[in-house]
Amino acid sequence: MKKDDQELYFAQNAPLPETPGSEAGAKPWQKTDVVGSSLPHVDAYERVSGKAVYPSDVVFPDMLYAATLRCPHAHAVVKTVDTGEAERMTGVRAVISGKTTGTDILWPYTPDMNTKLFDPHCRFEGEIVAAVAAETLYQAWDAVRAITVAYDVLSFVSDERRSLDAEAALVHPEGNKIKTEKYGRGDVAKGFAGADVVLEQTYRNESELHTPLELHGCVAKWDGDSLTIWESTQGVFAVQARVAEVLHLPLAKVRVIGHYMGGGFGSKLQADKTTIIAALLAKKTARPVKLFLSREETYLAVGNRPPGTLKLKAGVKTDGTLTALELTAVGSSGAYPAGGTALLDWLVRDLYLCPNVRTETTDVYINAGPSRPFRAPGHPQGAWALEQMLDSLAEAIKMDPVELRLGNVPMVSQARPNNPPYTTTGLRECIEKGAQAFGWKEARAKLSEKKSGHIKRGVGMAGGLWIAGGGNPPSTVIVKLFSDGSANLNMGASDIGTGTKTVMAMVVAEELGVKPEALQIEHADTGTTQYATPSGGSKTVPTEAPAVRAAALSVKEQLLKLAAEDLKTDPSDLVLKGSEIISLSDPSKKIKITGVTGLKKRGVIVGVGYRGPNPEGKVVNPFAAQFCEVEVNTKTGEVRIIRFLAVQDSGRVMDRLTFDNQTFGGITMGIGFALTEGRVLDGRQTGKLVNKNWHDYKLPTMLDVPLDMTCLPLDRPDPEANSTGAKGLGEPVTIPTAAAIANAVHHATGVRVTGTPMSPLRLAELFAQAAKQAL
Ligand code: MOS
């Protein structure tokens, strides 16, 4: 992700000029009728029946199918490409590679790091060398296989811990170091000197691969000089901007349509090289072109949670006061600058009270696909280290881990300049409420007794916060009320499966009484909907909902004005209740929405809403505490999660059902990070990805997820955050999960597992070692 994009996602406050209809005037809700209830997804039927059209479903009668030839080596230089045979094959309509006229296009990773669209220097397995468009997908793939490429195969580096070694292969000639970022406050040396216990531990997380059910890809179609793209994306405007930039087209000539989309988790916040390639092939053939990646390609090329090694040193007094935290971390963006250490140290900096903190994160190149933001970039990795360290400290000073955390809950963001306060922080309540609901004390006491046998049980917990999740401008939304009382919601934000449309329908229903089934919601489309930033950063609800509310309020204001003419009273005397407008001073004076003369004459009322700015000098963040009980088989290394409880402070609960679903989904993803998922690169011989399919890359399944899962929202509206009081949820929920499980495994077995995933193989080895040492 480019730096300015990153700022967009994580900014607490982007400047916005005063805009008419801004949410600033909206008063916080007191009591709500619709918001806060449990409403199933408004598009559930479309989704489960197969009626919903995803970008991968888009078909045109004259459409061609495209496939790409990708470099099979971890590191190589393309010497020659022979496309002759492929071009002559049945059904093939175009073959393009670096030698094709018009493909000399720069693809920017950062403002000062461009590569070519078909770069002869292939820095990772999966770099694109050529592309084919053919009448059928099979013909396209056959033609890809018929292209002959001569490579100079180079030596590679596949482990970020080896990247800066003197003998390591160079991914880029300038060297493998991308950058080192440093942060400090207080004096860590003094902090450690004043501690009663100082511990140091190195933690590591394997790279986790994004696995959206819908693959990455698009359909590209030209009409004259106008390009339309149907893309599986988290943000149609981001794709539009990138395509326009790379192809030097005006924004108005690039239309991106989002429809439904089958998951992204951060890997679809941006356009991909393949989007450009589809557009070029469509131009060359004067036909629509569909280019979707295979699962293997998505695993190789379009993102991952970067691998990281985190050395953490921590000091604590016997009374539980944290005196110093020092983190030295190395992460990897892969083969291009892509935020490989982004936010890796944020929890160490900001989650718990600590006067002396120093962090140093170094991002390095390796010969692997570039990382992309992955549900709470940096945070689950940071929690993996920090939350396990907190447990170790608690054990060392013989304090309950819950007590240790409760003694270090900050009310301000210590890592930001001038220590701004949080608008609301539920961290303390999350921990307290969770401990109580989980029965922490009892379970911990019971399971701490000495265990015989090889099946052992333990409990663990962890806390977390997410650096963003407050939402921010800009967002523009339009609500149209028709003369029959039905309405249309025009919003440019993509519903990435999280229930965005459903929550927004509830906001419209709350203000205008329009039933969700009487509301038409437009799909994200740069041609017809209003500008929105990509759905990511857990900011979609706190960004869009206030704009939707402002648009609905604007409609209501206009409606009451028109009704006042009919009822011969002042608009301020009127309220909208259900489908009627009623006079406060004389309740016998009322009129149905459908009876309002002005609306009937006009046919429509249009309300425009804008997202207003966030509060000055304050920070809006979501918080969480999670608790779990596990059963560990110390012979096989298997971990079974018996129960899991998540307490989430994400401000107001907008839709209880989507809230639960997000929470359970986030926990499931955290279980994968903890127990099963990890990219495996063959570091010895080839540098190639060896588990690039669903058989070898282990996603958690229903069998890995406990039946006993509880979502316990604090449901405390944050009145300062925005006019809906909601904070983000999608990312914060997945942050503490893996660490909570690791802490439970330690409680059960006494073995501290510092590396992900806690696979049976890894654990069985550790248990065997521990058993040997005990002899
Ligand atoms: Mo998220 S990683 O901002 O989609």
Dump pLDDT digits (tens) for 185-238.
999 999 999 999 999 999 999 999 999 999 999 999 999 999 999 999 999 999
With left for phi above 0 and alpha for psi between -120 and 50, is residue 445 left, alpha or beta? alpha
* Residue 768 bridge partners (DSSP): none
Phi, psi torsion values for 519, nearest 5 degrees: -115, 125
Running DSSP on this structure, what letter comes out for residue 422?
B
pLDDT tens digits, 358-406: 999 999 999 999 999 999 999 999 999 999 999 999 999 999 999 999 9
- Cα 376 to averaged position of ligand 1 atoms, centre (Å): 6
Res 2: pLDDT: 45
pLDDT tens digits, 118-165: 999 999 999 999 999 999 999 999 999 999 999 999 999 999 999 999
pLDDT over 70 at 566, yes or no: yes
SS3 of 96-157: the string is: EECCCCCCCCEEEEECCEEEECCCCEECCCCCEEEEEEECCHHHHHHHHHCCEEEEEECCCC
Whole-number Å distance between alpha carbons of 575 and 590: 9
- Cα 343 to averaged position of ligand 1 atoms, centre (Å): 12
- Ligand 1 lined by 670 (C-beta under 6 Å): no
- Ligand 1 lined by 259 (C-beta under 6 Å): no
Strand order in the sheet with 121-122: 121-122, 76-82, 148-153
Res 405: pLDDT: 98
Residue 87 confidence class, pLDDT cut points 50, 70, 90: very high
- Ligand 1 lined by 672 (C-beta under 6 Å): no
Which residue puts its alpha carbon closest to atom 4 of ligand 1?
A: 266
Torsion of CA 420, 424, 428, 434, to 10 degrees: -140
Phi, psi torsion values for 250, nearest 5 degrees: -65, 150
Read off the pTM. 0.96
- Ligand 1 lined by 732 (C-beta under 6 Å): no
pLDDT tens digits, 327-352: 999 999 999 999 999 999 999 999 99
**Structure token pair of residue 370:** 């570039």
SS3 729: coil
Whole-number Å distance between alpha carbons of 232 and 272: 11
- Cα 262 to averaged position of ligand 1 atoms, centre (Å): 14
pLDDT over 50 at 60, yes or no: yes
Whole-number Å distance between alpha carbons of 156 and 668: 34
- Ligand 1 lined by 377 (C-beta under 6 Å): yes
pLDDT over 80 at 23, yes or no: no
Sign of the four-CA dihedral 718, 719, 725, 730:
negative
- Ligand 1 lined by 235 (C-beta under 6 Å): no
SS3 11: coil
Torsion of CA 363, 368, 371, 374, to 10 degrees: -120
Q: Which of 269, 379, 734 to mutate to test the pocket of ligand 1 (most atoms within 8 A of CB)?
A: 269
- Ligand 1 lined by 537 (C-beta under 6 Å): yes
- Tell me the average pLDDT across 234-252: 97
Res 111: pLDDT: 82
Res 775: pLDDT: 81
SS3 43: coil
| Ligand 1 atom with minimal separation from the 376 CA | 2
pLDDT tens digits, 428-469: 999 999 999 999 999 999 998 877 899 999 999 999 999 999
Res 15: pLDDT: 44
Whole-number Å distance between alpha carbons of 488 and 520: 5
Residues above pLDDT 90, as percent of the chain: 94
Res 448: pLDDT: 87
- Residue whose tokens read 């949670």: 305
- Ligand 1 lined by 339 (C-beta under 6 Å): no
- Cα 714 to averaged position of ligand 1 atoms, centre (Å): 23
- Cα 232 to averaged position of ligand 1 atoms, centre (Å): 15
Whole-number Å distance between alpha carbons of 226 and 26: 40
Q: Could you give the count of Cα atoms lying within 13 Å of 1 in the half-sphere of its Cβ?
A: 28
| Ligand 1 atom with minimal separation from the 373 CA | 2
| Ligand 1 atom with minimal separation from the 730 CA | 1
Residue 22 confidence class, pLDDT cut points 50, 70, 90: low
- Cα 737 to averaged position of ligand 1 atoms, centre (Å): 17
- Cα 264 to averaged position of ligand 1 atoms, centre (Å): 8
- Tell me the average pLDDT across 265-291: 97
Nearest CA among 316, 309, 407, 395 for reference residue 746: 395
* Strands 487-491 and 519-521, bridge-based pairing: parallel
- Cα 373 to averaged position of ligand 1 atoms, centre (Å): 6
- Ligand 1 lined by 466 (C-beta under 6 Å): no
- Ligand 1 lined by 9 (C-beta under 6 Å): yes
Q: Could you give the count of Cα atoms lying within 13 Å of 42 in the half-sphere of its Cβ?
A: 24
- Ligand 1 lined by 375 (C-beta under 6 Å): yes
CA 145 to chain centre: 35
Res 259: pLDDT: 85
| Ligand 1 atom with minimal separation from the 375 CA | 2
Kindly provide the residue ranges of all beta strands, DSSP E only, lying in 395-554, ordered along the sequence. 455-465, 476-482, 487-491, 519-521
pLDDT over 90 at 633, yes or no: yes
Res 363: pLDDT: 98
- Ligand 1 lined by 513 (C-beta under 6 Å): no
pLDDT over 80 at 19, yes or no: no
| Ligand 1 atom with minimal separation from the 9 CA | 3
Residues above pLDDT 70, as percent of the chain: 97
Residue 421 confidence class, pLDDT cut points 50, 70, 90: very high
Strand order in the sheet with 308-316: 177-185, 357-365, 322-334, 308-316, 197-205
Residue 21 confidence class, pLDDT cut points 50, 70, 90: low
